[in-house]
A and B are shown apart, each in its own frame.
Chain A
Amino acid sequence: MSARVLVAMSGGVDSSVAAAILRERGCDVVGIAMRLAPEGSTVATGRRGTCCSYDDFEDARRVAERMDFPFYVIDLRAEFASRVIDYFVGEYVDGRTPNPCVMCNRDVKFDRLWKRARAIQADFVATGHYARIERDAAGRRRLLRAADPSKDQSYFLFNLTADQLARTLFPLGDMTKDEVRARARALGLRNAGKPESQEICFVPDRDYASFVERRADRAALRPGRVVDAQGVELARHAGVHRFTVGQRRGLGIAAGEPLYVRAIDSTTGDVVVGRNSELGARGLIATNVNLIDPSFAGDSLERVEAKIRYRHPVLPATFRSDAGGRAEVMFDRPGPAVTPGQACVFYRGDEVLGGGFIERAL
């Protein structure tokens, strides 16, 4: 009997192609799409009524029909709201810059998909992520960057465990975006040529500040001062949730030299700004660290390359961690602005060693 694979399908091109590839390889594919964002918050569902539209998963359905595998839509909105949206709002209110995709993968998607997979006796969970899983000589599964560096999404997957990797498939990991698009066209997918979305799915207009203001308890919002390094007030602001470390625009200050946010103190409400040259950090402290190979944790200094934002090049660094999921990362050369709340992922070459959430810059 062929292996049963639960394929997480978004309705987009990538996961549709992933499912088709697995089907062609003879897998017993079960397609599952997840309803995550609340109604009305995605562009596609901007219509009245309580249901999302049939069109949301159009391409997924098309592939399922064409390749003859069952396809279901499951409702994870309640969990998404409590685990992802509440976290997102809470982080901004606390002066940090959250990464909801990482949280969604860890606490909603993979967690639930694994349980659902067992419930339907699936041997593997597959997604359309661009990343690779390899088995080394010792039989250990390693998470690697995608073959196409411009598409690599391994950054978002650092929370996977070795056990999960053994039961996970990323069929697109060796493909380029162009190859995937060609496959999508061959499959007759409607969205084959559509540019992929870069925004956060539940804030399609990218106006995070307004979103936070709508969702947060008003009393929790922290207005305050914009100050320089000496504590001199340069302006007032409506809430620390409107700022992110490294941000330049929207500070409400006319200065000769461009000013950037250096730090945010949600207790006092102070947003500290400075010149570009003052932004750099020597390193960072990360918490909630997951190491795919747990034996990597320890007091010894390890060489890693740290990725402190999805679209940021890696920084050579030394790494030390404790068993409590806390890590200290020191860059070889002073790095750029480090943004608390974002994920810091540790690589060695193409391999993802693990990652965590940035607590503060050093």
Chain B
Amino acid sequence: MRIYLDHNAGSPLRREARDAIERLLGDDVANPSSVHRSGQRARRALEIAREQVAAAIGAKPRQIIFTSGGTESNNAAISGAVNALPARRRIVTTAIEHSSILAPLAELESKGRDVVRIAPDSEGTVAAADVLSALDRNTALVTVGLVNGEVGAIQDVASLAREALAVGALFHVDAAQALGRISIDVNTIGCDLMTLSGHKVGAPAGIGAIYVRDPARVTPMILGGPQESAMRAGTQNLLGAVAFGAAVEAATRDIGAEAARLYALTEQLLAALTAQIAGLSVNGPRDRRVANTLNLTFPGVLGETMLIALDLESVELSMGSACAAGSVEPSHVLLAMGRSAADALSSLRLSLGWNTTANDLSAAATTIVRVWARVSSAEPRPLAAESLT
């Protein structure tokens, strides 16, 4: 039996999502844009999914645009805002965003935009005041992740909306790692745009959404037919959408109780590891974190070796980010938090989710302690890692 502790990379398919897909496959549905009855049934299924996603974040269904996932939504938020406000040259973000924010912003920067990246504190929390001080009337967009996927820090985004509005900038929140982990209400946050991802809540990868408060304020993402309010042309991924709707409904139903359950599990795991691994340290806030995420620096070992050794013993977790070839890179989030490259390379992320049991975690704790002891004596962290900056 494998123990899967990598929900922040992708949560396994929920039963509700699987059922929704199977129901749809058993039904002869067609293109949701078609006039005929088969098209009408498809349209109905799509709109139910849209209502489910909207309800999960307190939005109106027409404010939800289905996309191919979080990366597309983040790219669309940036290009939609920047194209809508071409005279404004500044974009404000943080140093710990997902690559689907940082890479398009780097591209815009190379073309002459002024990109301000606010550094977090040592726990991965970004001070709202720092973001606010970077805002000016030249700012087109403020984009901040609600939950950091690597260390679990929850950012105080609600206080940013009013100030962004005051200077006339658009405010985007990347909630890919927040959906299903904490309660979200777009009206409380007051954002213009929000990124949502399906596979982080137990839908398949390939479906996501972007919340657009007022479509008139941003430019369309993909041009073509009139689908998705003409914001995102192209026949919808109906199988993905119904799975997303069902998964997000399940993920947000008892969100408080589930968070409490996962918080207790991570605290137990942390207590067990701390007691047996001298020098273990936690990356990220102890309190203002999502319940499911723990990022730990293991003394004297390479995270890469731990990852492999644990995988061979059926415990699946990750370092923050993997490259295309499958090897691991030092996490830019940990580096931004002031950790050394060597410490970043000794860090692992455990992220729990809907299928994680108490038994899983106690077995994982035992395995992690045993593997750490073996790895730290067999392959102590080499000095060369220190020079990797």
Task: Say whether A associates with B.
Answer: yes
A79 interface neighbour in B323, B375, B384, Cβ under 8 Å: B384
Report chain B residues within 8 Å CB of A73: 325-327
A51 touching B378, Cβ below 8 Å = no
Q: Which of B11-19, B231-239, B268-276, B306-314 contacts A (4 or more CB under 8 A)?
A: B306-314
Give 6 A-B contacts (CB < 8 Å), ordered by A residue.
A30-B312, A35-B327, A51-B329, A83-B384, A112-B382, A119-B378
Assembled-state Cα–Cα distance A73/B328 (Å): 8
Report chain A residues within 8 Å CB of B329: 50-51, 75
Report chain B residues within 8 Å CB of A75: 304, 327-329
Assembled-state Cα–Cα distance A70/B312 (Å): 8
Give the A-B contact count at a CB cut-off of 8 A.
75
Report chain A residues within 8 Å CB of B384: 78-79, 82-83
B324 touching A115, Cβ below 8 Å = no
Assembled-state Cα–Cα distance A56/B384 (Å): 24
Report chain A residues within 8 Å CB of B311: 70, 72
User: How near does chain A come to B326, taking the closest CB pair, in angstroms?
Assistant: 4
Nearest B residue to A77, CB-CB: B388
Q: Does B68 contact A (CB under 8 A)?
A: no
With A70-B312, A119-B378, A120-B308 as known contacts, state yes or no: A82 contacts B325, CB within 8 Å: no
Other CB < 8 Å A-B pairs besides A50-B329, A72-B308, A73-B326, 8 of them?
A51-B324, A72-B311, A77-B388, A78-B384, A116-B308, A119-B308, A119-B309, A119-B375
Assembled-state Cα–Cα distance A278/B311 (Å): 60
A51 touching B385, Cβ below 8 Å = no
Assembled-state Cα–Cα distance A70/B314 (Å): 11
Q: Does A186 contact B (CB under 8 A)?
A: no
Report chain B residues within 8 Å CB of A118: 374, 378-379
B325 touching A119, Cβ below 8 Å = no
Nearest A residue to B371, CB-CB: A119
With A116-B379, A118-B378, A118-B379 as known contacts, state yes or no: A50 contacts B326, CB within 8 Å: no
User: How near does chain B come to A28, taking the closest CB pair, in angstroms?
Assistant: 9
Closest 4 CB pairs of A and B: A51-B323, A118-B378, A115-B379, A73-B327
Assembled-state Cα–Cα distance A121/B305 (Å): 12
Taken residue by residue from 312 to 323, chain B's Cβ proximity to chain A (1 for < 8 Å, 0 otherwise) reads as 100000000001
Most chain B CB within a 10 A radius of its CB, from A50, A53, A77, A115: A115
Assembled-state Cα–Cα distance A32/B305 (Å): 11
Taken residue by residue from 95 to 125, chain A's Cβ proximity to chain B (1 for < 8 Å, 0 otherwise) reads as 0000000000000000010011011110000
Nearest A residue to B375, CB-CB: A119
Report chain B residues within 8 Å CB of A82: 384, 387
A115 touching B378, Cβ below 8 Å = yes
Taken residue by residue from 6 to 44, chain A's Cβ proximity to chain B (1 for < 8 Å, 0 otherwise) reads as 000000000000000000000000101001000000000
Q: Does A92 contact B (CB under 8 A)?
A: no
B385 interface neighbour in A30, A78, A120, Cβ under 8 Å: A78
Interface of B is mostly: helix
Report chain A residues within 8 Å CB of B385: 78
User: How near does chain A come to B344, taking the closest CB pair, in angstroms?
Assistant: 12
User: How near does chain B come to A73, taking the closest CB pair, in angstroms?
Assistant: 4
Number of residues of chain A lying within 8 A (CB) of chain B = 28
Q: Does A88 contact B (CB under 8 A)?
A: no
Q: Does A74 contact B (CB under 8 A)?
A: yes
Nearest A residue to B386, CB-CB: A78
Assembled-state Cα–Cα distance A35/B375 (Å): 20
Nearest B residue to A6, CB-CB: B308
B325 touching A57, Cβ below 8 Å = yes
Assembled-state Cα–Cα distance A30/B329 (Å): 21
Report chain A residues within 8 Å CB of B378: 115-116, 118-119
Report chain A residues within 8 Å CB of B379: 112, 115-116, 118-119
Assembled-state Cα–Cα distance A54/B378 (Å): 29
User: How near does chain B come to A40, taking the closest CB pair, in angstroms?
Assistant: 14
User: How near does chain B come to A71, taking the closest CB pair, in angstroms?
Assistant: 8
Assembled-state Cα–Cα distance A57/B325 (Å): 7
A35 interface neighbour in B325, B374, B387, Cβ under 8 Å: B325
Report chain A residues within 8 Å CB of B328: 75
User: How near does chain B come to A259, taking the closest CB pair, in angstroms?
Assistant: 42
Q: Which of A56-97 contact B (CB under 8 A)?
A: 56-57, 70, 72-75, 77-79, 82-83
A51 touching B325, Cβ below 8 Å = yes
Assembled-state Cα–Cα distance A51/B229 (Å): 37
Most chain A CB within a 10 A radius of its CB, from B311, B312, B326, B379: B326
Q: Does A162 contact B (CB under 8 A)?
A: no
B326 interface neighbour in A57, A78, A115, Cβ under 8 Å: A57
User: How near does chain B come to A246, taking the closest CB pair, in angstroms?
Assistant: 34
Report chain A residues within 8 Å CB of B388: 77-78
Taken residue by residue from 360 to 389, chain B's Cβ proximity to chain A (1 for < 8 Å, 0 otherwise) reads as 000000000000001100110010110110
Q: Does A52 contact B (CB under 8 A)?
A: yes
B326 touching A120, Cβ below 8 Å = no
B312 touching A74, Cβ below 8 Å = no
Nearest A residue to B378, CB-CB: A118
A54 touching B312, Cβ below 8 Å = no
User: How near does chain B come to A125, taking the closest CB pair, in angstroms?
Assistant: 13
Q: Which of A260-290 contact B (CB under 8 A)?
A: none
B325 touching A54, Cβ below 8 Å = yes
Nearest A residue to B310, CB-CB: A120
B374 interface neighbour in A32, A112, A121, Cβ under 8 Å: A121
Assembled-state Cα–Cα distance A285/B287 (Å): 66
Q: Which of B273-319 contact A (CB under 8 A)?
A: 304-305, 307-309, 311-312
Most chain B CB within a 10 A radius of its CB, from A75, A82, A118: A75
Assembled-state Cα–Cα distance A116/B378 (Å): 7
User: How near does chain A come to B342, taking the closest CB pair, in angstroms?
Assistant: 10
User: How near does chain B come to A227, taking the closest CB pair, in angstroms?
Assistant: 40
B326 touching A72, Cβ below 8 Å = yes
Q: Which of B70-120 contact A (CB under 8 A)?
A: none
Report chain B residues within 8 Å CB of A49: 324
User: How near does chain A come to B302, taking the closest CB pair, in angstroms?
Assistant: 9
Assembled-state Cα–Cα distance A35/B374 (Å): 24
User: How near does chain B come to A102, taking the closest CB pair, in angstroms?
Assistant: 19
User: How near does chain A come to B387, taking the closest CB pair, in angstroms?
Assistant: 6
With A56-B325, A119-B379 as known contacts, state yes or no: A78 contacts B304, CB within 8 Å: no
Assembled-state Cα–Cα distance A26/B272 (Å): 37
Report chain B residues within 8 Å CB of A79: 382, 384
Assembled-state Cα–Cα distance A30/B307 (Å): 13
A52 touching B382, Cβ below 8 Å = no
Assembled-state Cα–Cα distance A118/B374 (Å): 8
Report chain A residues within 8 Å CB of B309: 119-120
Assembled-state Cα–Cα distance A257/B240 (Å): 76
Assembled-state Cα–Cα distance A79/B387 (Å): 9
Report chain B residues within 8 Å CB of A70: 311-312
Assembled-state Cα–Cα distance A201/B208 (Å): 41
Assembled-state Cα–Cα distance A52/B309 (Å): 23
Nearest A residue to B305, CB-CB: A119
Q: Which of A283-321 contact B (CB under 8 A)?
A: none
